[in-house]
Amino acid sequence: MTSKPAGDEILSRADSLLLEFLQTHDADCPLCGYNLKALTRPVCPECGQALVLTVGTTRLRLDLLLAALAPGFFSGIAAFFVFILIAVHLIMLGSTWTIIAAVDSFGWLSGIFAIILARKRAAFLAQPRANQWWWVAGIWATHIAALGGFIALGRML
């Protein structure tokens, strides 16, 4: 079932339902905030953004995703700056620190894992909260164990 708006275009069923809803309800444009009530076309008259009928959540729960990403992003950023120190040391002295290079490698791998997890966030968020907690615990435990190991190794040298 399609209907004709003020112009000559034919609307899809979803567009018709959207416009029908907006005839009697206040809703803001998600881009510019313009009130879309009584809209006649599925386009915001203020900013020109095309509008679609969609289902959303009242509150997206990102807390565990952020907790899972934090150690990896921190390690990855720190690894970048440590790499600069390693490069300067290599250029100036012609040698590198083996333990620091190992720590830096862990940081790079951790950062890459965080980037992959961020890109696959929909799959992470689709998991039950209990699984998300296990991921967070495993990621933090890995980082704490690695830090402890690197500290112990540094004391032995």
Output the pLDDT for position 1: 43
Are 40 and 67 within one domain? no
Output the pLDDT for position 120: 95
Are 44 and 73 within one domain? no
**For residue 91, what are the domain limits?**
63-156
Are 93 and 150 within one domain? yes
Are 49 and 84 within one domain? no
Are 107 and 141 within one domain? yes
User: Which residue, of 13, 40, 56, is where some domain finishes?
Assistant: 56
Which residues fall within 8 angstroms of residue 86, CB to CB, at 6 or more apart?
96, 97, 100, 101, 104
Output the pLDDT for position 133: 97
Output the pLDDT for position 157: 66
Are 112 and 87 within one domain? yes
3-state DSSP assignment of residue 17: helix
User: Which residue, of 24, 39, 56, is where some domain finishes?
Assistant: 56
Token pair listed for 8: 């000559």
Are 48 and 83 within one domain? no
Are 122 and 68 within one domain? yes
Output the pLDDT for position 3: 46
- Give the whole-angstrom CA distance, residue 15 versus residue 42: 6
Are 77 and 138 within one domain? yes
Domain count for the chain: 2
Output the pLDDT for position 9: 61
Are 80 and 52 within one domain? no
Are 90 and 130 within one domain? yes
What secondary structure does DSSP assign to 88-108, as a single string? HHHHHHS---HHHHHHHHHHH
Are 45 and 21 within one domain? yes
- N- to C-terminal Cα distance for the chain? 76
Q: pLDDT tens digits for the chain (157 residues)?
A: 444 454 556 789 999 999 999 999 999 998 888 999 999 999 999 999 999 988 877 777 899 999 999 999 999 999 999 888 888 877 887 766 677 787 889 999 999 999 999 999 999 999 999 999 999 999 999 999 999 988 887 787 6
